[in-house]
Amino acid sequence: MKILLIQLKRIGDLILTTPAIAAVRDKFPDAHLTVVISSEGKALAPAIAGVNRLLVMPRGFAGFGTIAAIMRGKFDYCVDFTRNDRSALLVLLSRAKKRIVSFRIKVRSKFRTRFYNEFVEHRMRDMHVIDYHLALLESLGISNASRAVQLQLPKNSRATADELLSAHNIKRNFIIFHPGSARAEKFWNAQRWADVIKHAGDNHDVDLVLTGGSSPLEQTHIGDIKSKVRHRVVDVSGRTDLLALAALIGKARLLITVDSAPMHLASASRTPEVILFGPTNPFHWRPRESPALILQGTSTSPITEFVPKQPRLPMNQISTEAVIDAMETLLSAPATSPRL
């Protein structure tokens, strides 16, 4: 049996597809499993287990090689987790006997509806993203699968994390602060970040580590935060690849982050985390496996009730005191052992 899974969205989406990939492998242990991902997801590829072939689908003419490989595939099943024009084209070209997507495609595009022959009666807007991905597998006879994020970090990523810690003489417990995102609307106020970092340094015997991307947008934000902090802070932003960052998060005592990919990496290793949500709805994206406290809006305590529809909220409604209180709650609990 040959199975094709298509996930062309961002890194966070791909991480949250790993429970579905694992469920397909568990159901069909002898199948040849091919997964198609975007260029952005390529950095995660070495940590995705149970896949026989992983194809990267770049945009433009560079994607012809992947298209040709799919056309030669002779697949039995194809599941489209992406549900856009590019993924629909790959589904059509796969010529799989069973081509699966959400029934919502019928509402959104009658033209693309013709590319599929199995429609699952679930809507992403009503579900957590992991649950939605798993629901698409019902046509394959898969139910009650584990919702746990599944990543297997290669040895070289762990070694890189160890080398970073050694190079910066980090021998104590450490807290990672990840303030960056590809979207500026997810940035929290730099002074508030500095105040939280100062509180951690003043009140706990820990090292303080900053992580983030190398883009000018993130680096400017991180530089603004650092300029306001008087404690020793180890800045490794822009100096780790995705999987080395995952390994580093797996060793941390605590992660404090905005809604971004590190939130999902911490979920994979069960690292405790404080997560600041703003315009994105945590109903769909929140971790459910790791000890996580979620802050959003003007609430002075972590939110525990989540709804499918809510207004977009600005990040700066989250107070410094709420973040510090959540941090203290998790630091007062026993440390967890990393799962990665």
What mean pLDDT comes out for the span 192-207? 98
* Dist. CA 113–CA 107, nearest whole Å: 9
* CATH code of the domain covering residue 172: 3.40.50.2000
In a domain, 193, yes or no: yes
In a domain, 129, yes or no: yes
195 HSE (CA, 13 A, CB side): 12
pLDDT-derived band at 61 (thresholds 50, 70, 90) equals confident
User: Is pLDDT above 70 for 217?
Assistant: yes
**Domain limit, last residue, from 140, 168, 184:** 140
Q: Clarify whether residues 163 and 268 are in a common domain.
A: yes
pTM of the model: 0.94
Q: Clarify whether residues 221 and 321 are in a common domain.
A: yes
The predicted pLDDT at position 108 comes to 62
In a domain, 148, yes or no: no
- Contact yes or no for 234/257 (Cβ under 8 A): no
pLDDT-derived band at 25 (thresholds 50, 70, 90) equals very high
Q: Clarify whether residues 123 and 270 are in a common domain.
A: no
The predicted pLDDT at position 109 comes to 62
Query: What digits encode the pLDDT tens for the residues 147-186?
Result: 999 999 999 999 999 999 999 999 999 999 999 998 999 9
Q: Clarify whether residues 51 and 195 are in a common domain.
A: no
In a domain, 259, yes or no: yes
Lowest mean pLDDT among 112-121, 128-137, 239-248: 112-121
Q: Clarify whether residues 216 and 113 are in a common domain.
A: no
Q: Clarify whether residues 206 and 310 are in a common domain.
A: yes
* Dist. CA 139–CA 339, nearest whole Å: 31
Closest CA to 249 of 148, 147, 129, 157: 157
In a domain, 150, yes or no: no
* Dist. CA 100–CA 311, nearest whole Å: 31
User: Is pLDDT above 60 for 107?
Assistant: no
Query: To the nearest whole number, what is the mean pLDDT of the chain?
Result: 94
**Domain limit, last residue, from 140, 166, 198:** 140
In a domain, 146, yes or no: no
Percent of the chain having pLDDT more than 70? 96
In a domain, 42, yes or no: yes
pLDDT-derived band at 69 (thresholds 50, 70, 90) equals very high
In a domain, 339, yes or no: no
Beta bridge partners of 54: 35
* Helix and strand counts by DSSP (H, E) for the chain: 14, 12
pLDDT-derived band at 267 (thresholds 50, 70, 90) equals very high
Give me the domain span that covers residue 229.
Answer: 155-331
DSSP string, 7-56: E-S-HHHHHTTHHHHHHHHHH-TTSEEEEEEESGGGGGGGG--S-SEEEE
The predicted pLDDT at position 229 comes to 96
Q: Clarify whether residues 25 and 128 are in a common domain.
A: yes
Q: Clarify whether residues 207 and 127 are in a common domain.
A: no
pLDDT-derived band at 339 (thresholds 50, 70, 90) equals low
Q: Clarify whether residues 136 and 159 are in a common domain.
A: no
The predicted pLDDT at position 236 comes to 97
pLDDT-derived band at 110 (thresholds 50, 70, 90) equals low
Beta bridge partners of 33: 3
Q: Where are the beta strands (DSSP E) in 98-247?
A: 98-102, 118-120, 174-178, 207-210, 234-235
Q: Where are the alpha helices (DSSP H) in 204-340?
A: 216-227, 242-251, 261-269, 282-285, 320-331
Q: Clarify whether residues 169 and 118 are in a common domain.
A: no
The predicted pLDDT at position 265 comes to 97
pLDDT-derived band at 340 (thresholds 50, 70, 90) equals low
Lowest mean pLDDT among 76-80, 82-86, 239-243, 323-327: 82-86
User: Is pLDDT above 60 for 122?
Assistant: yes
Q: Clarify whether residues 134 and 160 are in a common domain.
A: no
**Domain limit, last residue, from 140, 163, 196:** 140
Domains in the chain: how many in total?
2
Direct distance between the N- and C-terminal alpha carbons of the chain, in angstroms, rounded to an integer: 30
